[in-house]
Structure 1
Amino acid sequence: MQRRVLVVSAAVATVVIALGVVAFATALDRILYSAAQDSARTKATELSATIAAGERPATLALRDVTSKGSLLEVLDSHHQVVAASESILSGSGSAITTLQPRPGEVQVAQEASISGEVGEPHAVVAQGVREPGGDAYVVVVAKPLDVEANTVRTATALLALGALALLGLLLVLISRILKQALLPVERIRSEVARITKVRGRGLITVPPTGDEIARLAQTMNLMLARLEQADDTARRFISDASHELRSPLATIRAAIEVSGPESTAADADRDAVIHGEVLRLQHLVEDLLTLAKADDGLPLTMEEVDLDDLLEGEVRRLRATGEVPVRASIVASRVVGDRLKLGQALRNLVDNAATHSRSEVFLGVEPQDDVVVMTVDNDGPPVPEDQREAVFDRFARLEESRERDRGGSGLGLAIVRTIIEAHGGTVRATTNPAGQCRFEARIPVVARPVSAASPQPQA
């Protein structure tokens, strides 16, 4: 915005200044030309009065007359020069103008050049006069405009330089004023960005100016307060509902698992279906509780964790269940983190890979510099590039998962990102060298927990 305002201001100011300089130069030129013309008219009037009064004949009218840089001529009725000032006596003898006013009439003109001169412009005044004897003559006075032209050029150049300096100063002032005016807006933007990072916690500092920006900050504070209240209400509901659901779900599960001797095969099939659904509900409730706790700062119990052991455990689990073949590349890797939370994140990644694989799953872990890289591949289609961020959102499910109805809640990958980021790491959806689906988690060797509630690492 600041750049656009500066560009527009510079363009408008340049046009205005250019028009002002042109108007000044034109006005100054007309003023100086008018002054030179008045001077020539006065001289012509004096000479005409001398001839008309018979004080001196026309042929001798210019004798002993000081021209003061002007060109003087007296023309007869045939437009022939009968007298001329000393400054043009050595010329060609032709008249310096074509003006032919009648006696008592005055005509003016601006000649761009006059024969015998070096291309200088002249203000020419021609006045008709009649001698007492009845002969008609024309008195011509041509005043050179070289001084006036030089004055106009010099004044225009100086004005243009001053205007450029003024334009530069004006742009600097506009830039500083805009910067100061937009500083509260930038402060509001940075504070909103900070609040966004901490999931809507906090308010914007209201500037004490009492202007539109202060009212904007107040309005945004009201909006943030309502959003925070709505978020707190939603999280309290999820947390309370999850806690309340745990006990009845555990009771239902226990009742189903303890089947009486009188149960029939049909009852056993029904109980198996109900048991599976109860397990799904329990997993969903636990996931909701995990995310609700993460919103308030995920508590971490820090200790040294061998990620290679966690990965080997997942390999054994997959091979024991026989759900999908698994390959692994495991290098001894140790980090400082929460063993249970890291294990939960790895389990969610592995379960997601097993759900979407076609024939096999690959698990890998190795240290790289100051991080440990865990990769979980499956030979299913990779996550589309435009959904590789959205796939980690809560309740996010790709269209393919919706169509195949694999039973996922859309919380598993959200929990993975929450746990990995709580350890100061990152997780992303990408592809392996073969172009297959890969999820890659990078965890610092020395964890940098982002949760303020995290206890210190154990010795």
Structure 2
Amino acid sequence: MLVADQHRQATRSGGVPVEWRRGPGRGAPRRRQLGLRARAAVASGLLALVLSAGLSVAAYQLTRSQLISDREDGAQRQAYVDARLVRNALRSPDPDVTTVLASLGGNAGTMTLAQVGAEWFSGSVGVGPDAVPDALGEAAAEGSAGRQRVRVAGAPYVAVGVPLPAVDALYFEVSPLADVERALEVLARGLMVAATVATAAGAGVGWYTSGRVLRPLRRMSLAAGGIARGTLDTRLDAVGDPDLEPLVASFNRMAEAVQERIARESRFASDVSHELRSPLAAMLAAIEVARRRHQPGALVEDEALDVLQRRVEAFNRLVLDLLEISRLDAGVATLRPEPVDPARLVGAVLDSMGRADVPVDMRADLASPLLLDKRRLGQMVMNLVENADRYGKGATRVEIDLDDRVVTIAVEDAGPGVAEHERSYVFERFARGEAAIVSAAGGTGLGLSLVAQHAKLHGGVVRLEDRVGGGARFVILLPRRDADGEPTGELAL
């Protein structure tokens, strides 16, 4: 849950924050987690990476083993063939061993050596006995043919040793493996590219698939948001998906139960309010009759009648507020725009409340009347002024401003302001802050909620700000309407 600090700018109607910042000393901010779709994409990408990397390593190892084995087998077969040629040459009188060795070797870069008795011969310039591994030389000297991978001058080779006991000689052939190593490097790069592509493809498939899977949840989220905004007849459709039908059916049953319960509560509040209006009207009429008939100067009776009248009027106001809320909840409340001069309307409301001393600051020139619901706007201003008088040490100013899209009406007071922890619910029904609880000012807790509901019906909002110099500032933002009564644009909330 986010916490607003002392510099939070405003709170929208219904307790929706306009700007939230974490306050100092409230604990470290929660670590932001990846969304479900992003986590699914990452998981798919990692799975594709593991699989592609494993397959690439296996393919590389198998290919490497096969290529090297084939090359070594070929080098060994060629060495046996060349060894027979050397043996035949050594049987001839006065053989030229160096020339014979230079003519041998099946691949370019192959080095040939022979040990005849104790003397070494080489078919390649600069190549001597050092090119022959000791272990291979010892094995050949003991009469065993063999092969061994070696590195000569940093390059890979395979050395083959063949004993020639008939002529008291040893034959060695050192064949290069550089082309095999280059082929393996190309293969490794190709497999790395393939693994990267497979990983990206896996992440993409995971993103796409998770989007398809989560689409019903998004529809459910939109439906839940519609119900929260008051569209209680919102329902879901399973679209023939047997896996979603139980979830959709449960959601729809829940939505129907919520709608029926709210309808019952609204009907109950409306019925009770209607039933109370008649006796309340009779009680007020009886109080007026008693005032006209009682003896002048009877202070006790005057005080009792004043108290009774205030209580009955407050109760009547509560009943009227409940009736208004029940109409708003039932969706039968309609907006009736008519040409209004907001400055005159605010002035008339202040006069009717006995608060003509509150200054009205019109900060923009009004070329023509605005299309607004006069009754609802008047009730919003009256409720805000009453709230300021009760809990904010009195309203100090009403400011009116407008531009091409928005009409702004702000009511300021000189009180202590609204505590930070109360701002999230100040526009809820029956919400009463600490100032209302400790004071004897009364109030039902419906005034600000009605302001928020009337503003919402206009397509606007009401928000709470800090007044410069101390105190609270309640701001009503309403969209301007054209000649047909349609808003000229959306509010930038």
TM-score class normalised by the smaller sequence: 0.7 to 0.9
* Structure 2 residue aligned with 1:222: 253
* Structure 2 residue aligned with 1:315: 350
The one of 438, 449, 454 aligned to 1:403: 438
The one of 169, 177, 188 aligned to 1:145: 177
Listed as ranges, the matches of 1:50-199 within 5 Å are 56=91, 63=100, 66-69=104-107, 70-75=110-115, 80-81=119-120, 83-84=121-122, 86=123, 88=124, 90-97=125-132, 98=134, 99=136, 100-101=138-139, 102-113=141-152, 119-131=154-166, 135=168, 137-199=169-231
Q: Distance in 1 between matches of 2:407 and 2:77?
A: 101
- Unaligned stretches of 5+ in structure 1? 452-459
1:414 aligns with 2:449: yes
User: CA shift at 1:55, angstroms?
Assistant: 8.6
Q: Go from structure 1 to structure 2 and tell me whether the alpha carbon gap of 1:387 and 1:76 turns closer, same or farther (over 3 Å shift).
A: farther
Q: Distance in 1 between matches of 2:428 and 2:414?
A: 23
Which 4+ stretches in 1 moved above 6 angstroms? Answer: 47-55, 447-451
Listed as ranges, the matches of 1:1-16 within 5 Å are 1-16=36-51
Deviates most, 5-14 or 277-286: 5-14
Q: Distance in 1 between matches of 2:355 and 2:190?
A: 92
* Structure 2 residue aligned with 1:455: none
Q: Go from structure 1 to structure 2 and tell me whether the alpha carbon gap of 1:385 and 1:445 turns closer, same or farther (over 3 Å shift).
A: same
* Structure 1 residue aligned with 2:411: 376
Q: Go from structure 1 to structure 2 and tell me whether the alpha carbon gap of 1:373 and 1:328 turns closer, same or farther (over 3 Å shift).
A: same
Rg comparison, structure with higher value: 1
Q: Go from structure 1 to structure 2 and tell me whether the alpha carbon gap of 1:151 and 1:247 turns closer, same or farther (over 3 Å shift).
A: same
* Structure 1 residue aligned with 2:341: 306
How well do the aligned residues superpose, as a CA RMSD in angstroms? 3.5
Listed as ranges, the matches of 1:158-307 within 5 Å are 158-211=190-243, 213-259=244-290, 266=300, 269-295=303-329, 296-307=331-342
Q: Distance in 2 between matches of 1:366 and 1:91?
A: 98
- Secondary structure at the counterpart of residue 140 of structure 1: strand
Q: Is the 8 A contact 2:349 2:378 kept in 1?
A: no
Q: Is the 8 A contact 1:107 1:126 kept in 2?
A: yes
Q: Go from structure 1 to structure 2 and tell me whether the alpha carbon gap of 1:336 and 1:43 turns closer, same or farther (over 3 Å shift).
A: closer
1:265-312 deviations in whole A, cap 9, x for unaligned?
656544443332222211111100000011223134432223222222
The one-letter amino acid paired with 2:112 is L
Larger RCO (alpha carbons 8 Å, 6+ apart): 2
1:72-124 deviations in whole A, cap 9, x for unaligned?
3222575x52x44x3x2x2344342123114332443211116xxxx431111
Q: Go from structure 1 to structure 2 and tell me whether the alpha carbon gap of 1:256 and 1:26 turns closer, same or farther (over 3 Å shift).
A: same
User: CA shift at 1:407, angstroms?
Assistant: 0.9
Q: Go from structure 1 to structure 2 and tell me whether the alpha carbon gap of 1:309 and 1:131 turns closer, same or farther (over 3 Å shift).
A: same
- Unaligned stretches of 5+ in structure 2? 1-35, 488-493
- Secondary structure at the counterpart of residue 392 of structure 1: coil
Q: Is the 8 A contact 1:432 1:438 kept in 2?
A: yes
Q: Distance in 1 between matches of 2:405 and 2:315?
A: 39
1:175-210 deviations in whole A, cap 9, x for unaligned?
333333333332332233233323433212322222
Q: Go from structure 1 to structure 2 and tell me whether the alpha carbon gap of 1:58 and 1:223 turns closer, same or farther (over 3 Å shift).
A: farther
Q: Distance in 2 between matches of 1:312 and 1:173?
A: 64
Q: Distance in 2 between matches of 1:152 and 1:58?
A: 46
Q: Distance in 1 between matches of 2:82 and 2:395?
A: 118
Q: Is the 8 A contact 1:195 1:201 kept in 2?
A: yes
Q: Is the 8 A contact 2:43 2:203 kept in 1?
A: no
The one-letter amino acid paired with 2:309 is H
User: CA shift at 1:235, angstroms?
Assistant: 0.9
The one-letter amino acid paired with 2:240 is P
Q: Is the 8 A contact 2:41 2:205 kept in 1?
A: no
Q: Go from structure 1 to structure 2 and tell me whether the alpha carbon gap of 1:330 and 1:316 turns closer, same or farther (over 3 Å shift).
A: farther
User: CA shift at 1:45, angstroms?
Assistant: 4.6
Q: Distance in 2 between matches of 1:394 and 1:131?
A: 113
Q: Is the 8 A contact 1:54 1:131 kept in 2?
A: no
- Secondary structure at the counterpart of residue 192 of structure 2: helix
Listed as ranges, the matches of 1:416-431 within 5 Å are 416-431=451-466
Deviates most, 60-69 or 138-147: 60-69
Share of identical aligned residues, percent?
25
Q: Go from structure 1 to structure 2 and tell me whether the alpha carbon gap of 1:261 and 1:9 turns closer, same or farther (over 3 Å shift).
A: closer
Q: Go from structure 1 to structure 2 and tell me whether the alpha carbon gap of 1:299 and 1:54 turns closer, same or farther (over 3 Å shift).
A: closer
The one-letter amino acid paired with 1:75 is Q
- Secondary structure at the counterpart of residue 247 of structure 2: helix
Q: Distance in 2 between matches of 1:450 and 1:215?
A: 42
* Structure 1 residue aligned with 2:32: none
Q: Go from structure 1 to structure 2 and tell me whether the alpha carbon gap of 1:366 and 1:109 turns closer, same or farther (over 3 Å shift).
A: closer
Q: Is the 8 A contact 1:53 1:131 kept in 2?
A: no
* Structure 2 residue aligned with 1:364: 399
